[in-house]
Structure 1
Amino acid sequence: MKVFKLLILCFLFIQSHSLCAAQALVSELKIFEPYLGTWQADFPVVGGKPAMQDVSHWERALNGTAVRTLHSINEGMYGGESLIFWDKTKKKVVFFYFTTAGFYTQGTMDVLDDGSFVAYEDVAGNQDGITKVKSTSRFVDGEMEVSTQYLKHGMWTEPEKRRYTRSNKAVKFH
């Protein structure tokens, strides 16, 4: 009986280890593991403007060779989807971001020594005059901090800062 219990424990250990390995990201994307899951941030708004909430979901994709993100603002008023991956030729983290507003971005990310990362995006087709985006993200005390600037009509905007907390909400698209 003891041998049988030992075999079952060994089997369960191997299965759980195999499952964890199957859920892992490639080494170049390990920086994103704390971000996996669902998040939400309430944007600060100027008096009289409607509240703004972003719900973002990060998941492992393509056998761990990519990270897929989905997000929606105000339950589908605006949203987008990204695919983040390691480009072996460029030796950089790269990504594509597609939006419900009909424009897209492509960019690269620099991973910094402190575990944060900076994303640089080139924007194509934005009707508001935005041609570039720069954002810095950090994982701090179980939360995601994001600071974003936009090159709009040739001028960089002041950084917009948001703090994302874990959420049970769903990303929604209309």
Structure 2
Amino acid sequence: GPGRGNGAGGTGNSGAVPRGMLGSDLALRAREMMRGIDIPANPPAALRAAREAARRIAVAADERDVPVRMYVDSFRQKIERTAAQIQMRVAAAPARYDPLVSVAVRSDGSVDEVVILRSSGRPDTDEAIRRIVHLNARYAAFPPNVAARFDVIEIRRIWTFAETLKLLEEVR
């Protein structure tokens, strides 16, 4: 039409599109194309889960990320030190197994969850593990270089009760 295109036979303004015409035309076309399309305000659950998983790390014995390893080691030291300070003694009967425990810590240092992956075989020992983790909570916030990449660090360790509590790396 007149005023559009290559400017031939138009207004003599060397082919320029009148100000405001292009933007409003594109906006109108976009609105027409979007009509009847439902765009959810929140991303689908599967996409949210994938994003959350991408910001979560399960630390294994072979973890190469030095700042993450340092954070996990400070967690281990705090647990072992607290157990020694309160002179934690597990029941007279020893645990049948060394429990495998996963503790998920959020970037602010709060506990996300405590999961006993392999029980000690003694409910009182398993409960003592949960108590120790929560007694120590609030852990240190993640360092900025770790928090920029992760929202949750999952720390899996074997808890051994001898004379003192030791958290050992799980070898898979």
| TM-score (normalised: structure 2) | 0.26
Q: Going by fraction, where is helix more abundant, 1 or 2?
A: 2
Q: Going by fraction, where is strand more abundant, 1 or 2?
A: 1
Larger Rg over CA atoms? 2
